[in-house]
Amino acid sequence: QARLHDLGSRDVPRRELDALLFALRRLVLRHGAGADARAHVAARAARLQDAVLGPLAGVLGDRPLVVVPTGSLRSVPWALLPACVGRSVTVAPSAAIWLRAVQRPGRRPGRARVVLVCGPGLEGAAAEIDELAGAYPAAVRLDGPAATVDSALTALDGADVAHVAAHGTLRGDNPLFSALALADGPLTAYDLERLSLAPRLVLLPACQSGAGHVHAGDEVMGLTSAFFALGTRTAVATVVPVPDEATRPLMVALHDGLRRGLPTAAALAAAQAGTDRSDPVALAAAGGFVCYGAG
pLDDT digits (tens, 9 = 90+) for 101-156: 788 765 555 578 999 999 888 777 888 999 999 999 999 999 999 999 999 999 99
CA distance 86 to 106: 23
**90, 295 in Cβ contact below 8 A?**
yes
Name which of 196, 223, 135, 122 is nearest 165 in CA terms.
122
DSSP secondary structure string for all residues of 67-131: E---GGGTT--GGGSGGGTT--EEE-S-HHHHHHHHHS-SSPSSS--EEEEE-TT-HHHHHHHHH
Question: In angstroms, what CA-CA distances link 122 with 28, 180, 202, 242, 248?
Answer: 16, 12, 19, 11, 11
At 140 the three-state DSSP class reads strand
The answer to whether 78 and 236 have CB atoms below 8 angstroms apart is: no
Three-point CA angle 54, 59, 64, nearest 5°: 95
The pLDDT of residue 263: 94
Whether 30 contacts 283, CB under 8 Å: no
Task: Please give the C-alpha separations between residue 97 and each of 63, 185, 232, in angstroms, as whole numbers.
Answer: 21, 31, 11
Task: Tell me the average confidence (pLDDT) per consecutive run of 10 residues in the chain, 295 residues long.
Answer: 84 88 81 71 91 86 88 84 92 83 66 90 84 93 94 95 86 71 90 91 75 46 76 88 82 94 95 85 86 88
Nearest 5 degrees, angle CA 28-CA 251-CA 49? 55
What is d(CA 74, CA 48) in angstroms, rounded to the nearest whole number?
Answer: 13
**DSSP assignment letter at 136:** -
pLDDT tens by residue, 174-186: 666 778 889 999 9
Task: Count the residues in the chain.
Answer: 295
